[in-house]
């Protein structure tokens, strides 16, 4: 930006606008009568000079503008030519060289948005003229602007210290910037710390992650804020103000060496009780029936899976109280029961509907539009009676040849389509309502 | 333009997508009627409802706001604001006794020159049927 003193001060004077209409060879002049536009523009308020020329952006074209600025003391310039996305920078630089503020410039787009999109010469000419008139009106109101420099705080904030956040913080810090790394939980690491291997190379997850966790804690440019949350972000690019809530850590951070002795003396005991075998027989629904299920399989050495299958069939899922009761009765830790219960696909920890629908999303079904089937089922069951239908997505039902496939309880339905889903679900619903009525009648 | 009324459309186009879209219509020589006057704004979100009402009270037969598709706005959520404003504008038009069809909001990306021409064509048709803006003196 040139220095302000060299520029023409315009604020108190009447604006003097120069208008330059470009022919662009024949690109504009073929459909717009540029001479007429330039002539008409002379009558517009504030217009001092108005000219047309073959190629405004060429050196002689630009020179024309520069000479006029000097000669006529122009305060503003309007060029009617191509799109400002093309030559705005060119002309801005041009008038700046002639001592005008580059913001006292306006462009009328009479090529891309006029001569190239219209055929009728009269109408295109009138449109070009009205675009020029608008540009002149706007130009007369333009005030010179100064470019300013605003200092920025060369600091970065990374939110979330999973592997991505850790790596980002390390990369930024390595380039020499101070970096704040905020993590909501007490430890960095995120999801990756819960994994054993990573896809697709099956590399050891911890072997990649842990060295980076250490780096991030030790890096001189990184300030680690764990167990903290961002509560407010304010400001703008380069000058943000961020509020971070550091949750109480109940130890003196400067003195803590991480020895862990405090845990032995901690007065608060938070043991996850639910994973142990209950000490007393817990309350359970339909105790007799559950007892019967247990005794039915008592000849097995390890009856748990069989019992769980039966429970699942009876209640259509594994109720929590029943699992606790099983833990007590069979003397198996609840954690083991959960391990088994979550391993098998046929067991469910949430209630399933009277009709449990499984939609296959295996490759074969997927390419035949299984996603649409899932959507169709979902929208069809949306306003049915609660507990009537439930939906599960599975990966391969072993019936690829008839895909897209869905299974209702144990019945397979192949070659599904959106309309077939609708028919099937309606017939199931009617069937269910009929049986319900029969029961009532009896 | 044959049947008497020749409507005037003021189109606010955001610099980053829709203005470039209109430029593309030019570069591909897609023809549309001369009834539209494009005003370049940095973001569709800066078109205050008053500007639209101003345009109408000063005689525009139709007003078109074009912005980037949702999610593409150069200023992140400018066009979402535009969408909300469009609802307000429609309500205001009713109060002014103007048909809501005179106003239109369209998402036009830099690659949709064709679409821009289509929209202008449709709007000109529509406005011909509606006749001149009653505020025209
Ligand atoms: S200024 Fe634009 S319209 Fe004129 S000759 Fe140059 S490219 Fe063509
Ligand atoms: S920049 Fe195009 S709508 Fe905001």
The mean predicted confidence, pLDDT, of chain A is 89
Q: What is the pLDDT of residue A22?
A: 97
Q: What is the pLDDT of residue A285?
A: 86
Query: Are the C-beta atoms of residues A2 and A33 closer than 8 Å to each other?
Result: no
Q: Tokens in use for A324?
A: 């606790």
Give the DSSP H/E element, type plus range, for residue A211.
Answer: helix A205-218
Query: Are the C-beta atoms of residues A275 and A333 closer than 8 Å to each other?
Result: yes
The answer to whether the Cβ–Cβ distance between B37 and A131 falls below 8 Å is yes
- Across A173-266, the runs of DSSP E, i.e. the strands, are 178-182, 197-198, 203-204, 222-225, 228-236, 239-246
How high is the ipTM of this complex? 0.94
- Across A323-382, the runs of DSSP E, i.e. the strands, are 355-360
Query: For residue A153, is it left (φ>0), alpha (ψ between -120 and 50) or beta?
Result: beta
The answer to whether the Cβ–Cβ distance between A116 and B29 falls below 8 Å is yes
B35: closest chain A residue by CA:
A127
Q: What is the pLDDT of residue A300?
A: 81
Q: Which of A17, A82, A29 lies closest to A53, judged by CA? A: A29
A88 contacts chain B (CB < 8 A): no
In chain B, residues with a C-beta closer than 8 Å to the C-beta of A112 are: 22-23, 25-27
Q: Tokens in use for A409?
A: 């309880």
For residue range B69-128, what is the model confidence (pLDDT) as tens digits? 998 999 988 999 999 999 999 999 988 889 999 999 999 999 999 999 999 999 999 999
Distance from the A125 Cα atom to the nearest Cα atom in chain B, whole angstroms: 10
Q: What is the pLDDT of residue B39?
A: 96
Q: What is the pLDDT of residue B45?
A: 94
Separation of alpha carbons B1 and B81, rounded Å = 35
Q: What is the pLDDT of residue A5?
A: 42
A113 contacts chain B (CB < 8 A): yes
Q: Structure pTM?
A: 0.57
Q: Which of A125, A121, A17 lies closest to A79, judged by CA? A: A17
The answer to whether the Cβ–Cβ distance between A109 and B37 falls below 8 Å is no
Separation of alpha carbons A73 and A48, rounded Å = 9
Low-confidence ranges of chain A (pLDDT < 70): 1-12, 269-275, 441-442
CA of B106 to the centre of ligand 2 (A): 11
**Cβ(B45) – ligand 2 distance below 6 Å:** yes
Buried b (16+ CB within 10 A) or exposed e, A333-360: ebeebbebbeeeeebbeeebbbbbbbbb
Domains of chain B: 9-130 (3.40.50.960)
């Amino acid at each position: 930006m040139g220095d302000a003193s060299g520029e023409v001060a315009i604020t108190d004077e009447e604006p003097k606008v120069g208008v330059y209409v470009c022919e662009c060879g024949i690109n504009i002049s073929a459909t717009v009568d540029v001479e007429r536009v330039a002539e008409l523009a002379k009558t517009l308020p504030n217009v001092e000079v108005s000219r047309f020329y073959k190629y405004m952006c060429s050196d002689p074209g630009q020179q024309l503008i520069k000479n006029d600025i000097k000669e006529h003391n122009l305060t503003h310039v309007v060029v009617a030519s191509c799109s400002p996305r093309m030559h705005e920078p060119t002309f801005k630089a041009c008038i700046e060289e002639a001592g005008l503020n580059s913001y006292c410039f306006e462009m009328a787009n009479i090529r891309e948005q006029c001569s190239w999109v219209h055929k009728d010469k009269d109408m295109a000419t009138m449109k070009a003229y009205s675009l020029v008139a608008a540009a002149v009106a706007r130009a007369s109101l333009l005030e010179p602007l100064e470019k300013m420099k605003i200092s920025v705080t060369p600091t970065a904030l990374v939110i979330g210290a999973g592997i991505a956040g850790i790596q980002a913080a390390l990369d930024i810090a390595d380039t020499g910037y101070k970096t704040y790394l905020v993590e909501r939980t007490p430890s960095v690491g995120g999801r990756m710390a819960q994994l054993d291997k990573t896809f697709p190379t099956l590399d050891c997850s911890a072997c990649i992650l842990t060295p980076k966790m250490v780096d991030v804690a030790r890096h001189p440019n990184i300030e680690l804020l764990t167990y903290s949350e961002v509560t407010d972000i304010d400001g703008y690019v380069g000058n943000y103000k961020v509020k971070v809530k550091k949750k109480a850590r109940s130890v003196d951070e400067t003195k803590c060496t991480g020895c862990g002795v405090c845990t032995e003396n901690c007065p608060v005991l938070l043991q996850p009780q639910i994973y142990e075998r209950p000490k007393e027989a817990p309350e359970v629904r339909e105790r007799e029936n559950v007892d019967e299920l247990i005794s039915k399989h008592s000849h097995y050495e390890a009856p748990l899976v069989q019992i769980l299958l039966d429970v699942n069939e009876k209640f259509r899922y594994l109720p929590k109280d029943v699992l606790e009761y099983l833990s007590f009765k069979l003397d198996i830790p609840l954690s083991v029961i959960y391990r088994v219960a979550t391993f098998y696909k046929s067991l469910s920890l949430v209630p399933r509907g009277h009709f449990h629908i499984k939609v296959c999303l295996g490759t074969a079904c997927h390419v035949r539009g299984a996603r649409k089937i899932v959507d169709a089922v979902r929208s069809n069951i949306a306003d049915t009676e609660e507990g009537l239908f439930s939906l599960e997505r599975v990966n391969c039902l072993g019936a690829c040849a008839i895909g897209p496939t869905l299974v209702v309880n144990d019945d397979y339905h192949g070659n599904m389509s959106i309309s077939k889903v609708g028919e099937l679900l309606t017939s199931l619903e009617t069937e269910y309502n009929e049986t319900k009525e029969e029961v009532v009648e009896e | 333009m044959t049947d008497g009324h020749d409507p005037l459309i003021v189109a606010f186009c955001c610099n980053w997508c829709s203005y470039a879209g209109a430029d593309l219509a030019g570069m591909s020589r897609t023809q549309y009627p001369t009834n539209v006057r494009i005003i370049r704004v940095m973001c569709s979100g800066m078109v205050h409802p008053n500007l639209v009402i101003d345009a109408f009270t000063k005689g525009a037969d139709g007003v078109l706001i074009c912005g980037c598709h949702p999610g593409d706005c150069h200023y992140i959520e400018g066009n979402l604001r535009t969408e909300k404003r469009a609802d307000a504008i429609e309500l205001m038009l009713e109060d002014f006794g103007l048909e809501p069809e005179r106003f239109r909001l369209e998402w036009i990306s830099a690659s949709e020159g064709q679409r821009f021409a289509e929209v202008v064509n449709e709007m000109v048709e529509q406005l011909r049927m509606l006749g001149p803006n009653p505020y025209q003196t």
